[in-house]
Each structure stands twice: as C-alpha cells, then as structure tokens.
Amino acid sequence: MIFVKDIIAAIEAFAPVQYQEGYDNSGLQVGDTQAAVTGVLLTLDVTDAVLDEAMQCGANMIVAHHPLIFSGLKRLTGRNYVERIVQKAIKNDIHIYAAHTNLDNVRAGVNAKIAEKLGLVNTEILSVMGGTLRKLHTYVPVAALDKVRDALFAAGAGEIGKYSECSFGTEGKGTFRAAADANPAIGVAGGAREQADEVKLEVLIEKHTESRVLKALFDSHPYEEVAYELVALENKNQQIGAGMVGYLPNPMDEMAFLAYLKERMAVSCIRYTALKGSDIRKAAICGGSGSFLLKDALAAGADVFITGDFKYHQFFDAEGRILIADIGHYESEQYTVEIFEAILNKKFPNFAVLVSKTNTNPVKYYC
C-alpha cells in the first residue's frame, strides 16, 4: 500500500521543500498524508477538467507543479475556480499536492528538463541561491568519534559535490565540570574539573538536512550536553538556484535557432527581440516567468534567454545585447510532469502513475 506521505517523501527527497521561494505555497494543498493512494495523476496546473480526469481514471491524488492554493482561502463558497476545485476535491476524496519553486530551484529540476529538450551541454545554475549551506562543529570524545561521524554522514552531512563523507577532525583537550545534578559521561557529578581527549569534528551540511543531522548528533553523542556550533556560510551551493545556462553542441544562426526552439519545445509561436546578427552558442533558460533573471543571463554572457511571461517594456531591456525568446509560460514548463513521472516510476514501479492528457494552458493563440 502506498500512502500520500510516501508520494510526498519521494518528490521532496528530489526537491526539498526548504528550497521553495518565500512567496510560494508548495506542499500538500488538499487531503490527508495518511491516506492510501489508488493512483497519481500528473499535471502542470490543477483545473476542473484535471480533477474530472483524475476521478475518471481512478487516481485519488493529483501532483501538480503550480499550487492551486497560492494566497490564503478565507471561505469556501465556490465563488471562484480555486474554491470550487477545493470543495469538489474534498467531496471526492482527491488529494492535491504541488512542488513549485522547490522543483524550479534544484539542479535536476524544471530547467534541467528544458536543457535536456534543447540538448544543452555543460549546464550550470544561472542564479545560485545563497544561505543554503552551514558548517557544523562538534566536540567528541575520541572513543565516540566513529559512532558520531557515521551518524552524521548517514543523516546527510559531509556531502560536497560528487564527494560524500567529507569531514575534518582536530585533536585537542576539552574541559568541563559537572554540576551536582548533572549526569556526566566522563567524571562524576559535583566533582572536580575534568579534562578529556576530544576531536573537534567539522562537517558541511545543507539546509534541508539540518534537522536530521542535528537529531543524529544528539542521538549519537555520548555527552549529556552536546557542545556544537552551527555556522551559516556565505559559500554558494552550486546545486540550488534559479534558471540554468548551458551550451548548444554546435552554434546556430539566430533564425535557425528559433526554428529549432519552436520544434523542440513544441510551440506554435515565439515572441522575440531584434536579432543580434551573431550565432547562438550559449543559452540561458528559465521555465515559467523568468524576466527577473535577464540580468543574470546577460552577466553569464548568454546569446539567448528562453523563458515565458516577458512584458512589453521588459523586451526593451535586451538592448541588442541578447536575444530574448519568450515561448510562453505553459509551453516552457509543459515537460515538467516528466520529472514527477521519472521520480515516481523509479520509486514505485508497477504503481499507477498517469500523465494528464488535459491541456491546462489558459492562453490560446489565434495564428
């Protein structure tokens, strides 16, 4: 039996919810984490048609990229489509979950999928998120070092790029004096000052593993009071952030590139700025509304910036320095469901994971 919480855990192991933006509302929107799942329907947006589709195909959970509930709901009276869908989902025991900007911000997320469709190579995060790394220092008696270090590694500490179990230890002397009501691992309560051979152990931890790692520290460390410091780092984590930049395997002239983009992303039209008259080699991408990353795309030296939702005045900001190609919000993120599909099929083989056949794009084109 697979439960709602199992589906959520699989997705959040890939895209930890700690990496969503402050304005976002990713997570379980409607439903119960303890409920059994009969099938999952994957979609970009939750619409009434998607809800009907889920019920028709026997899937009682919808996993979406865009949250149905964004700002708070003050009442449920069916005044708008959000309230009506929430009411209908509750009546029909449908669970609705969304992984939004956390899926945008992980290295293998929304933008990696677009890069894959465009065949980009040597990709990097376009705007790396700050404040996601911490350094943990703790002081461990030598005899307990292996136990504590193993527990920290098992909880996810000490991972740096392609290396795991990274740590540094410095031997030294620790001192302490236990109060009369203490329960010391070394020495006696109310006794004289003790001196112990200890190792100062240092490990890097990522924001999403912090509570797990601290629990492992407290559970494995022999001291009643665990001495530790958790220090926020300025270091950038190259695995977390917005947008992506990468190279085409072979440069293309701009019109050939636009034709390639149209075909690869299955779009009916592209809005773009004046051609620069030079080849496209380096491409910046951002699924969804990416205009906030134009300055990063310019700083990265990208020849083209591919995203959606550019406004009229924002097109002027290209100033002949970059080709902006707006392929549409829906179009840029339409393959996002393939990420959910791969995660769930790998974790739960032989389980009903279905991709919605509903085109939820609210924008129509009259060409």
State the residues that interact with Zn ion by CB under 5 A: 288, 333
Nearest to 8 by CA among 66, 64, 71, 89: 64
* Alpha-carbon distances, residue 37 vs 51, 59, 65, 350 (angstroms): 15, 8, 19, 13
Nearest to 360 by CA among 87, 99, 66: 66
Minimum distance from residue 151 beta carbon to Zn ion (Å): 39
Q: Which residues of 29-47 are buried (b: 16+ CB within 10 A; e: fewer)?
A: bbbeeeeebeebbbbbbbb
Minimum distance from residue 37 beta carbon to Zn ion (Å): 25
Q: Which residues of 118-141 are buried (b: 16+ CB within 10 A; e: fewer)?
A: bebeebebbbbbeebbbebebbbb
Chain length of the chain: 367
Nearer to Zn ion, 296 or 333 (CB): 333
Residue 198: both structure tokens together? 């200890």
Helix (H, G, I), strand (E, B) or coil at 128: strand
Other CB atoms within a 10 A radius of the CB of residue 232 amount to 12
Sort strands 304-308 and 194-206 into parallel, antiparallel or unpaired: unpaired
Nearer to Zn ion, 326 or 333 (CB): 333
Q: Which bin fits 290, alpha (ψ -120 to 50), beta or left (φ > 0)?
A: alpha
Q: What's the CA gap between 217 and 211, in Å, rounded?
A: 10
Nearer to Zn ion, 206 or 331 (CB): 331
Nearer to Zn ion, 101 or 237 (CB): 101
Nearer to Zn ion, 24 or 198 (CB): 24
Nearer to Zn ion, 38 or 361 (CB): 361
Minimum distance from residue 232 beta carbon to Zn ion (Å): 30
Sort strands 168-176 and 194-206 into parallel, antiparallel or unpaired: antiparallel
Q: What's the CA gap between 125 and 241, in Å, rounded?
A: 6
Q: Which residues of 259-280 are buried (b: 16+ CB within 10 A; e: fewer)?
A: eebbeebebeebebbeeeeeeb
Nearer to Zn ion, 105 or 138 (CB): 105
Minimum distance from residue 268 beta carbon to Zn ion (Å): 19
Q: What's the CA gap between 329 and 286, in Å, rounded?
A: 10
Minimum distance from residue 40 beta carbon to Zn ion (Å): 20
Task: State the residue number with the nearest CB to Zn ion.
Answer: 288
Minimum distance from residue 32 beta carbon to Zn ion (Å): 26
Minimum distance from residue 65 beta carbon to Zn ion (Å): 6
Nearer to Zn ion, 24 or 333 (CB): 333
Nearer to Zn ion, 184 or 288 (CB): 288
Minimum distance from residue 224 beta carbon to Zn ion (Å): 49
Minimum distance from residue 66 beta carbon to Zn ion (Å): 6
